[in-house]
Amino acid sequence: MGAGSAERDIDSMPDGHKPDLQRTGRRIHKASTRNPRSPADRPGGRVRRSSRLQSGLPTVSLQVTDKRRGIGVPPAQKKRSTTSSSSSLPPRTGDFQGTKRAHCEEEELGTSLQDDIRKQNPPKHTKGAIRSSRQDQYIQHWLDNIHIPRKSSTSLHGTVIDMPRKAPSSIPTDIESTAEESGTKTTASVDALALHYRNIVIGKVPPPKGLEGRARQIISGVPTSGDIDHTALENLRQLLIREEGENESMLVTLLLPSLQVLGIGATLDPKLRARPNQLWFNCVPIPLLKEFEPLSSSLPSLSRPKPDVTFGFSLEAFTLTQQFTLGSVCDKNNPKQNYAIPDGKTVFPFLTFEFKAEANRGTHFSAKKQAANSGAIALNGNLRLMEQCGLGLRVFERGEPHYFSITIEFASARVNLHWVEVPAKRGGPYRFHVNTLEIYPLIHVEGLLALFRAVRNILEWAVKTRLPKLCAALDAYH
């Protein structure tokens, strides 16, 4: 519709209803000069302003809140914030730049108020933070108190060497001191897989009934040298109960003198030798089974034994010719390794002791693994002697015991029998077994009595039965 038609319509209206065009134009002009619209505020622009800012009304400052902790501004600061922000706003007739500057000042004021709030109201720990702090404290306490042994390994399952254990301060006269040869006592932790790869078995297969019956006959009964003093046994029992929480060194200190007095008797037979804490540095180790030899570099190694006490024969028990022959019973590939004298002085060991304490995390099973290693080496030495002397298994009596071991802790002791399983096929590998024969509770006098009877009986059996057979094999050696 054109401008001419609009004027005609206005003229046709009654006088009381005609609009005042001049007054309307002045209103539009005042509004445009008061709040000019920037290009960004035009329809289609990117920046859109709120109705409060466009109208130029004063902005009310809201409460400043710390979003991380949910802490509000105190009432006094809230009043200060509202007054300051409202007083800093531009007048209603100002331009848009004044409004923008006011909001920047308001943001700076809010930031300063937040800093004041943090200083006056330090952050409180949440439940998750408290729980995490307690876990960290628990882990740190565990790391500070746990016993972590020093380790040296040659493979993934390598040999583990624990912290050195102090040797007893007093050694009985008949049990030789070997500090110059063995040094500080260390306990070799034997890997069960290392035993398995060498055909050494703990338990699982019971010994032949005839062999087990003969072994029980040897260790039981009253020794021919006389019975044990019950008063001394009662004193030892009370000591073991009182010191039960102590470490392995204390157990060795208590039992070595008792082993001298109660187990050996007045004096040790000159044909026997007892050596504590001696490394079998001269032994011939048990080799890997042939099927595992290609993987030898990645399989766990087996350390040389170092029993707490080793019982065997002395060189004086053999003639000069037999002593010369003993030096020839060696490994063909390494002449320095001897089948008969694994520690350099004790000839054909037949009994070893291993002491353990719960304070050092020691168990009968860990002691049994150590004894299985030394027992297999000793039995293998007996077999090689029979083979090299030309007698073979005819002299090696499979129904007769050849080796015992005793594992002891504060509360109990175990006597173990070691024996050999001959392969079905000729030339096959021997299998070495160890089985628990008897368990004696040391908190009772009866258990201590049975233990020391077994020790004396084994020593007497070795001199009367075992030694003559070894001498016969050495005489037949060629």
Secondary structure of 449-470 in HEC code, one letter for each residue:
HHHHHHHHHHHHHHHHHHHHHH
Nearest alpha-carbon partner for 416 in 344, 466, 379, 364: 364
Both tokens assigned to 471: 């001498």
Q: Are 400 and 461 contained in the same domain?
A: yes
Sign of CA dihedral 323, 458, 401, 411: negative
Q: Are 209 and 115 contained in the same domain?
A: no
Q: Are 274 and 373 contained in the same domain?
A: yes
Cα end-to-end span (Å), the chain: 140
Instruction: Choose one of 119, 146, 172: the last residue of a domain.
Output: 119
Residue type, 289: L
Query: Mean pLDDT for each 10-residue chunk of the chain (478 residues)?
Result: 52 56 58 52 50 48 46 47 46 48 54 55 53 60 51 39 39 46 48 91 91 95 87 91 89 86 77 93 94 90 93 95 91 90 95 92 92 96 82 68 95 96 82 96 94 94 94 84
Q: Are 327 and 462 contained in the same domain?
A: yes
- Residue 31: inside a domain, yes or no? no
CA distance 381 to 350: 11
Beta bridge partners of 421: 431
- Residue 28: inside a domain, yes or no? no
- Residue 21: inside a domain, yes or no? no
CA distance 454 to 456: 6
Instruction: Choose one of 119, 149, 170: the last residue of a domain.
Output: 119
Give the E-state strand segments of 88-162 in sequence order: 160-161
Residue 134: per-residue pLDDT: 60
CA distance 155 to 299: 7
Instruction: Choose one of 119, 149, 176: the last residue of a domain.
Output: 119
CB 311 within 8 A of CB 211: no
Residue 151: per-residue pLDDT: 42
Q: Are 113 and 199 contained in the same domain?
A: no
Q: Are 85 and 195 contained in the same domain?
A: no
- Residue 442: inside a domain, yes or no? yes
CB 281 within 8 A of CB 304: yes
Phi, psi of 165 (to 5 degrees): -105, 135
Q: Are 253 and 302 contained in the same domain?
A: yes
- Residue 325: inside a domain, yes or no? yes
- Residue 39: inside a domain, yes or no? no
Residue with tokens 């010191």: 243
Nearest alpha-carbon partner for 404 in 357, 457, 358: 457
- Residue 26: inside a domain, yes or no? no
Q: Give exposure, 312-338, as e/b (b: 16+ Cβ within 10 Å).
A: bbbeebbeeebeebbeebbeeeeeeeb
CA distance 168 to 276: 10
Q: Are 219 and 308 contained in the same domain?
A: yes
Q: Are 277 and 360 contained in the same domain?
A: yes
Nearest alpha-carbon partner for 85 in 65, 112, 110: 110
Provide DSSP, 150-161: ----SSTT--EE
CB 52 within 8 A of CB 102: no
Nearest alpha-carbon partner for 248 in 182, 186, 190: 186
Q: How far is CA 124 from CA 30, 51, 71, 121, 267, in A?
A: 56, 40, 11, 9, 75
CB within 8 A of 46, min separation 6: which ones? 40
CA distance 457 to 308: 20
- 3-state class of 187 per DSSP? coil
CA distance 432 to 418: 7
Q: How far is CA 403 from CA 80, 312, 347, in A?
A: 95, 10, 13
Residue 21: other Cβ atoms inside 10 A = 9
Q: Are 165 and 238 contained in the same domain?
A: yes
- Residue 384: inside a domain, yes or no? yes
Q: Are 167 and 240 contained in the same domain?
A: yes
Could you tell me the residue range of the domain that residue 330 belongs to? 160-475
CA distance 19 to 26: 13
**The total number of residues written for the chain in this structure:** 478
Count of domains forming the chain: 2
Q: Are 352 and 422 contained in the same domain?
A: yes
Residue with tokens 């039960």: 244
